[in-house]
Amino acid sequence: MESAQSIKALSALAQEHRLAVFRLLVSQGPIGLPAGEIAKTIGISASAMSFHLAQLEHAGLVRSWRRQRRIYYAVEIDAVRRLLTFLTQDCCQGRPEICGDMGVLADVCGAEEE
């Protein structure tokens, strides 16, 4: 992942409702949730939710698809892996025992990209 893409992703997450949506969608995995259910769970209007989901999608962190009259959203697992790898790839100058879980995360994410 390039710096510009990571900045776009982190900027999208730097807002209370978008971070809550992202965490909700991470918990659901690839099955995702309909937009209306996301809005209801987060506690904001459908129009506000639409704006926040568009921001997350534009940043590449979520994807959407239509199923009948509903639009579903799910986290883009590969994009999250790339972001986490980018953030942790040089953890502790190659000494993962210092980084704890972050070092393990970088190793796991990096191995999955190869």
Model pLDDT for residues 18-47, shown as the tens digit of each residue = 999 999 999 999 999 999 999 999 999 999
User: Do 50 and 87 lie in a common domain?
Assistant: no
User: Do 14 and 50 lie in a common domain?
Assistant: yes
User: Do 99 and 70 lie in a common domain?
Assistant: no
CATH of the domain at 53: 1.10.10.10
User: Do 15 and 62 lie in a common domain?
Assistant: yes
User: Do 33 and 58 lie in a common domain?
Assistant: yes
The H or E element containing residue 19 is: helix 16-28
Cβ atoms of 46 and 35 within 8 Å: the answer is yes
> pLDDT tens across 45-97, in order?
999 999 999 999 999 999 999 999 999 999 999 999 889 888 877 777 766 66
DSSP state of 30: G
Q: Count Cβ neighbours within 10 Å for each residue of 16-36 and write b for 16 or more, e otherwise.
A: ebbebbbebbeeeeeebbebe
Cβ atoms of 71 and 50 within 8 Å: the answer is no
Q: Where are the beta strands (DSSP E) in the chain?
A: 33-34, 62-67, 70-75
Reported as a pLDDT band with limits 50, 70 and 90, residue 100 is low
User: Do 21 and 42 lie in a common domain?
Assistant: yes
Instruction: For residue 24, give its domain range.
Output: 3-75
- The number of distinct structural domains making up the chain is 2
User: Do 66 and 85 lie in a common domain?
Assistant: no
